[in-house]
Amino acid sequence: MLEQKIVQIEWAGLQGQRPREAGCNSRLAIHGLYVRPGIAVITTDQGVSGFGWSRISQSEAESLIGTPIADLYGAEGEGEQKYVPDAYRAIEYPVWDLVGQLTGKPVYALVGDYQGDGYTAPCYDTSLYIDDLHLTDHQEAADLIAAEAQEGIDQGHTTFKIKIGRGAMHMPLESGMQRDVMVIKAVRQTVGTEATILLDANNGYNLNLTKTVLAETIEDQVYWMEEAFHEDGQLYRNLKDWMAKHGIETLVADGEGGASANLLIWAEDGLIDVIQYDIFGYGFSRWLKLGQKLDTWGVHTAPHHYGGYYGNFATCHLKNGIQNFGFVEWDAAVVPGIDDSSYTIQDGQVQVPNRPGFGLTLDRQVYDSAVKDDGFIAKG
Ligand SMILES: [Mg+2]
């Protein structure tokens, strides 16, 4: 298997659609209806293919033609675990999928102990955006987001992430704060006491506003507070001390974008409980290694994944290699060309198929036409 080499790399952008338009977060305008995952297919000289998310350019793809699998996938140091080296990160997901095809194993079985059927990963519904700015009445706004949470319940979700920070830019501060709290309470009312609620302010709060919202929602049991403000060791220390004093056990989550170089130092110091580097930006192999380090610090792993579609599935497989894995960020969409029907959500868990690689199926007709439209084929 390892003596095979890559003889062809194809790339195309596919387009899919969310079930509902995603609105604003605290700092950006409407996110919209569409997702556009770039998908690469890599093929060996034995005619075996793997596919997955990629942003590779044609010239980079051409430079990788002829690369043996032994280079693309190997052990580092003394451990037995194999990874895709940093040099090949541009086609990391297709390589993991290809190795799955060659070994007949799902990726989860390549990265962790569990090898059987019935593999699952906890996920959260990430679709509760700031979708209510057209409404002047706070209660109507809260009811709208609660109705969206109900749609998530109907899809099998039990964990929900709510976008907050309306008063950072979209609304006057006090009014936005009031609405944030009413939205949280309305969602809690709808999802029930057993469900898990996460908040994400996209850095739209400051320390005092964060304390205000956490204090006003104590009985709503917020599990994590994500990107309350741009990460800062002093402010996080203050927040942690304040939470301890008030018996608030909400976790601090951060690291999604433009993360501080000190993020991991603060995590090791106990100031940040959940690390959220992006599943594509940071990468699967690097996440596997980092997650195992976070395990030793008692810090949770919950990669950011929004708008990429493919990360819904790929992130599930990481869980098998990381003890303190938190959640898969689930950004539901339908993408013509990719059959994901072997993945389902039940009781807040993604049921992951025991199929080779990432377990997805590519529709070659749709993909070939996307390659012709605006993609490329690199071959030796
Ligand atoms: Mg976020």
Instruction: For 60-73, write each residue's pLDDT tens digit.
Output: 999 999 999 999 99
Predicted local confidence at residue 79, as pLDDT: 84
Give CA 283 to chain center in angstroms: 11
Report d(CA 244, CA 122) in Å as an integer.
27
Residue 47 CA to ligand 1 centre (angstroms): 40
pLDDT bucket at 194, cuts 50 / 70 / 90: very high
- State residue 27's pLDDT score: 93
Query: Would you say residue 33 has pLDDT above 80?
Result: yes
CB 180 within 8 A of CB 166: yes
| 3-class secondary structure, 111 | helix
For residue 24, give the DSSP letter: B
Say which range, 181-195, 197-211, 255-269, has the weakest mean pLDDT. 255-269
Which token pair is 189? Answer: 């009312």
Q: What is the DSSP letter of 307?
A: S
Domain with CATH 3.20.20.120 in the chain: 120-351
Instruction: Note the pLDDT tens digit of each residue in 334-344.
Output: 999 999 999 99
Question: Ligand 1 centroid vs 202 CA: distance in angstroms?
Answer: 6
CA distance 19 to 335: 11
How far does the centroid of ligand 1 lie from the alpha carbon of residue 349, in Å? 20
As annotated, the residues of the chain forming the CATH 3.30.390.10 domain(s) are: 6-105+363-379
> Average pLDDT, stretch 349-361?
98
Q: What is the mean pLDDT of residues 206-221?
A: 98
Q: Which pLDDT value is given to residue 198?
A: 98
Average pLDDT over the chain reads: 97
pTM listed for this prediction: 0.97
% of the chain with per-residue pLDDT over 70: 100
CATH architecture of 120-351: Alpha-Beta Barrel (3.20)
Q: Residue 214 pLDDT > 90, yes or no?
A: yes
Please say if the pLDDT value at position 257 is more than 90: no
pLDDT at 111: 98
Say yes or no to pLDDT of 374 above 90.
Answer: yes
Ligand 1 center to residue 355 CA distance, Å?
Answer: 30
pLDDT computed for residue 337 by the predictor: 98
Distance 204 CA to ligand 1 centre (A): 11
Tell me, in angstroms, the distance from the centre of ligand 1 to residue 114's CA.
Answer: 30
pLDDT per residue over 123-136, tens digit each? 999 999 999 999 99
Residue 199 has pLDDT above 80, yes or no: yes
* CA 112 – ligand 1 centroid, Å: 27
32 Cα–ligand 1 center, Å? 16
User: Ligand 1: distance of its center to the CA of 225 in Å?
Assistant: 10
- CATH classification (class only), 6-105+363-379: alpha beta
Q: What is the mean pLDDT of residues 84-105?
A: 97
72 CA to middle of ligand 1, Å?
A: 31
Task: Give pLDDT, residue 43.
Answer: 98
Distance 229 CA to ligand 1 centre (A): 11
Q: How far is ligand 1, taken at its centre, from the CA of residue 129, in Å?
A: 11
Distance 240 CA to ligand 1 centre (A): 20
Distance 122 CA to ligand 1 centre (A): 17
Residue 306 C-alpha to ligand 1 middle, in angstroms?
Answer: 8
Distance between Cα 37 and ligand 1 center (Å):
19
